A and B are shown apart, each in its own frame.
Chain A
Amino acid sequence: MSEPSISRPRRWDKPFSLEVGSEEELTDDMVDFLLTTPPFSQIDPAGFKRSLPLRDIMKNDVRIVGFDEGDIIVRRGDWGNSAFFILSGNVRVDLERKQTSLPDEILGRRTNKVKTLWESFSQLWQNNSEPEVREIASVGGSKSTLNTRFAHGGTRIYLPEVSSVLDKYRTARLDAGHWFGEVAALGRTSRVATVFSEGVSQLLEIRWQGIRDILRHDREGSLKKYIEDVFRERALSAFLRTEPLFQDCPPELMQRIVDQVEFHTFGNYDSHKPFKELLEDQNHNVDGGEPVIIQEGDYLSGIVMIRSGLARISQRHHNGRRTIGYLSPGQIFGLDEIQSEVQSLTPVACRAQLSAIGHLNAVLVPTPLVEEILEQNSPAKSSSKKAKKQIRATGSQSVKLNDDILLSQLVDRHYVQATSLMVIDLDRCTRCDDCVRACATAHDNNPRFIRHGPILNQYMIPNSCLHCADPICMIECPTGAIFRDLAKGDIVINEQTCIGCAQCASNCPFDAIRMVDIRDATGALIVDSKTQTPLAQATKCDLCIDQRGGPACERACPHDALFRVDMHDAAKVEEVFAS
């Protein structure tokens, strides 16, 4: 009997224009037309590989989507997998931030319901005796109360009264020929603003894989320059001001900084792919494959501020390198050296090496401008204690530990990605499993982590979701069921939209996502009506997002042995791992 065979799936088996939400397939004529219009007409097709021509990228990673008056195109906080180019019509960008921006109800956003005190208490007897019970009605979608309509080949959430939104909220208009959403798509970050259609508009939507390939092979670099210019114009100033050094910077100086800042990208955008292999590599060779941003002993041309990704700080140690710290987004490198230069009036060589862990975007603020800021903030010029404190604080921005080996292990295993790393101090843990029991009680009798995992010194890192800063589990989720909660930033799975494709579970390098067979209230497995095979859904730690008081595991530990650590919080990391 012959084995069942299918042809091996390839990248462009299904063009973007044939995916759910597309109106019509992108024809060759349309592609030809797009290639004759800017900005695509400015890209030299000769720079592209034969196996990856610009025309094919356009044909397969691009689609044209139409929007009606008020249709929401992207929502603030949603995950960005694609960028948009306006072909015709106008769109509006919500410029308000935080509390004053468009409310969640208008945006049709789900709000996570936190259990009441009684609901929490009643879990003791209301939890199902069988694990992973779902209401059948909720699996595969439920009736929505959102303002939605079916148009242009997909269901759209829309703003019912656009004019009142325009009156009430500060917005900006973007006309044809503008891009938006590219920063979130390339940086694997959430959208920073909501964009909706003003009148009827037609947009070109391009998958991040497509933008990545165009950026890679575009010899002229026109698209790259455009993206950088947009970031420089729209967001750079606000980004720099997150760093205390720039907070009191006068507007004139800030404008000069914005004009002169250099953008740098390091590492492979797909660096999560060989990540599991990297975990297997026990040699922990720091130099191995990590692009060097600044060499140890070099003279700095400016300070480096991380936009996205992580960077390793290492020093030469005998015949190798040892990790002495790491930087996460918003943190800076090189200020100490420039401060020393200012004080000693002689060039100071860099005392450590900075290298990119995976894919990294950074900005370089030139030395003369940094010196000018330091001059402005110097005690002689600025009597404010705050300014002095700030300068001191920025010098110790990177996360450091006294134990170099432990720090190396945390970096090598990419635990530094975590915004909520579960750490169990085995010197205190009595293995009572109260944490596991509490987790099970909070999650319908099935714990969302296993008290088992690598042990670094006396610290166990159990198989629990790390809630990564760059959650690669979310990249290929076809329904957006795995998403970042806006209020708390946790990565959670929506049971109602999870289709059980297991993309997230296979992408997670920490094996923290588990596929479980789901059951009905009687305990019977729920099966696919067509194939009669059990339906599975992804489950993982959700930091007890619907429970009062936060993660049950941490609160249930009687011996203060279990911690949740944001690895980007230098003080917390030091507090937990310094003992």
Chain B
Amino acid sequence: MRNLFIQQRIAIAVFAILSLMILAGCYLFSISLAKTSFASGAILLTCILFLACYQLRKKLSILPIGSASTWLQFHIFIGFLSFVLFMLHMKMRIPDGLFEFILFLTYFTVFLSGVLGWLLSRSIPHRLLSRGEEVIFERIPLHRRKIHDKVKALVFENAGDGKAIPDFYEQHLRTFFEGPRNQLRHILHSERHRHQLSQKIAALKPFLNEQEQATLLQITKKIQLKDDLDYQYIFQAIIKAWLFVHVPLTYSLIIFALYHTLAVCAFASMSR
């Protein structure tokens, strides 16, 4: 743990030094009246290509080309450094050309989704551990169905002749057990839906006989189980979903950036 702390400190220090060096280099380059955009653009493109290589490393897990965690550290480091370069390259202003604006927007989305992913990968594991049973994401629907089947058996087979529990199930529980529910509330750590359901169950209790009360108690436990499963589902889904934004947009960014480079090189003699 102490090593990790020291590593983080070193990374921040190196980042600060490199950023200052880039800024100083740009300044020195600019006072000699040279075109800094070419230099910053070339370095930025190299950075983007390096960042994209991380995905390649993940595919080539069997090759001895360094551990994925080392690659990720570099990926994050270079990612932040690329942002400094990007701002320099843009000269801190929003481009006015349509293509440049799309390129700007793509880079920003990729960068922000990367930062978001980084933050999520630091916070969600802890949340997943704090509640519910650890279930593999792909198996969650199966677990959900099993819970639902057990609840249906309790409602329609164990509840006796009374209609109270089947009615309650149709009115309040069927939709709850059918699929993932209350996702936004889980994200916001709100437990309001559970309190509401508990109140409804408490209100129903006085109208039930002993056998029905026992059945309701078992259903209550299943509600807790299903709610925990929903919690696991939404957070595991989020931590997988952000990659569907980050990775495809990275490929778009590379294509746009290469086109931009070609265009810049082709019209270099005309630029001022």
Q: B71 contacts A438, CB within 8 Å?
A: no
Q: B61 contacts A556, CB within 8 Å?
A: yes
Q: A117's contact among B63, B125, B128, by CB below 8 Å, is which? A: B63
Chain B residues, Cβ within 8 Å of A561 = 125
B136 within 8 Å of A (CB atoms): yes
Which residues of A line the B interface, CB within 8 A? 115, 117, 120-121, 123-124, 426-432, 434, 437-438, 441-442, 451-452, 455, 458, 460, 544, 547-549, 552, 554-561, 578-579
Q: Min CB distance, A266 to chain B, in Å?
A: 37
B6 within 8 Å of A (CB atoms): no
Q: B64 contacts A556, CB within 8 Å?
A: no
Q: B69's contact among A123, A452, A559, by CB below 8 Å, is which? A: A559
Encoded as 1 (CB less than 8 Å from any A CB) or 0, chain B from 117 to 154 comes to 00011001110110000101100000000000000000
Q: How far is the CA of A441 from the CA of B134 in the complex (A)?
A: 25
Q: B134's contact among A437, A455, A547, by CB below 8 Å, is which? A: A455
Q: A426 contacts B61, CB within 8 Å?
A: no
Chain B residues, Cβ within 8 Å of A115 = 62
Q: Min CB distance, B131 to chain A, in Å?
A: 12
Chain B residues, Cβ within 8 Å of A547 = 62
Q: A438 contacts B62, CB within 8 Å?
A: yes
Q: B62 contacts A120, CB within 8 Å?
A: yes
Given contacts A430-B125, A431-B236, A442-B62, contact A558 B134 (CB under 8 A): no
Encoded as 1 (CB less than 8 Å from any A CB) or 0, chain B from 186 to 208 comes to 00000000000000000000000
Given contacts A434-B68, A558-B71, contact A552 B61 (CB under 8 A): yes
Q: A579 contacts B63, CB within 8 Å?
A: no
**Given contacts A442-B61, A557-B68, could you give 19 more A-B pairs where the C-beta distance is less than 8 Å?**
A426-B128, A426-B129, A427-B126, A428-B125, A430-B120, A430-B239, A431-B125, A431-B236, A432-B240, A438-B61, A544-B62, A548-B63, A549-B64, A555-B61, A555-B64, A556-B58, A556-B68, A558-B71, A559-B72
Q: Min CB distance, B264 to chain A, in Å?
A: 34
Q: B67's contact among A451, A555, A579, by CB below 8 Å, is which? A: A555
Find the residue from B59, B60, B62 having the highest chain A CB count within 10 A.
B62
Summarize A's interface: helix, strand, loop or mixed: loop
Q: How far is the CA of A124 from the CA of B56 in the complex (A)?
A: 12
Q: Min CB distance, B268 to chain A, in Å?
A: 38
Q: A579's contact among B1, B121, B129, B134, by CB below 8 Å, is which? A: B1
Chain B residues, Cβ within 8 Å of A426 = 125, 128-129, 134
Chain B residues, Cβ within 8 Å of A557 = 67-69
Q: B137 contacts A458, CB within 8 Å?
A: no
Q: Which chain B residue lies CB-closest to A544?
A: B62
Q: Which chain B residue lies CB-closest to A549?
A: B64
Given contacts A441-B61, A452-B136, A547-B62, contact A555 B126 (CB under 8 A): no
Q: Which chain A residue lies CB-closest to B126?
A: A427
Chain A residues, Cβ within 8 Å of B136 = 431, 451-452
Chain B residues, Cβ within 8 Å of A452 = 134, 136
16 contacts between A and B (CB under 8 A): A426-B128, A426-B129, A426-B134, A427-B129, A431-B125, A431-B137, A431-B239, A434-B61, A442-B61, A442-B62, A455-B134, A549-B64, A554-B67, A557-B67, A559-B125, A578-B1
Q: A548 contacts B64, CB within 8 Å?
A: yes
Q: B63's contact among A121, A429, A455, A458, by CB below 8 Å, is which? A: A121
Chain B residues, Cβ within 8 Å of A441 = 61-62
B50-84 interface with A by 8 A CB criterion: 58-64, 67-69, 71-72
Find the residue from A427, A460, A561 having the highest chain B CB count within 10 A.
A427
Encoded as 1 (CB less than 8 Å from any A CB) or 0, chain B from 231 to 259 comes to 00000100110000000000000000000
Q: How far is the CA of A60 from the CA of B143 in the complex (A)?
A: 51
Q: Which chain A residue lies CB-closest to B121?
A: A430
Q: B125's contact among A120, A429, A434, A442, by CB below 8 Å, is which? A: A429
Q: How far is the CA of A437 from the CA of B138 in the complex (A)?
A: 14
Q: How far is the CA of A115 from the CA of B58 in the complex (A)?
A: 19
Q: Which chain B residue lies CB-closest to A438?
A: B61
Chain B residues, Cβ within 8 Å of A117 = 63
Q: A458 contacts B129, CB within 8 Å?
A: yes
Q: Which chain B residue lies CB-closest to A121?
A: B63
Q: B63 contacts A120, CB within 8 Å?
A: yes
Q: B62's contact among A123, A429, A558, by CB below 8 Å, is which? A: A123
Q: B60's contact among A124, A428, A559, by CB below 8 Å, is which? A: A124
Q: Min CB distance, A445 to chain B, in Å?
A: 12
Chain B residues, Cβ within 8 Å of A430 = 120-121, 124-125, 239
Q: How far is the CA of A452 from the CA of B139 in the complex (A)?
A: 11
B89-130 interface with A by 8 A CB criterion: 120-121, 124-126, 128-129
Q: How far is the CA of A430 from the CA of B72 in the complex (A)?
A: 13
Chain B residues, Cβ within 8 Å of A442 = 61-62
Q: Min CB distance, B31 to chain A, in Å?
A: 42
Chain A residues, Cβ within 8 Å of B64 = 120, 548-549, 555
Q: A124's contact among B59, B67, B128, B239, by CB below 8 Å, is which? A: B59
Which A-B residue pairs are the 10 nearest by beta carbons? Answer: A549-B64, A438-B61, A558-B72, A556-B61, A558-B68, A560-B69, A548-B64, A555-B67, A426-B129, A430-B121
Q: How far is the CA of A422 from the CA of B125 in the complex (A)?
A: 18
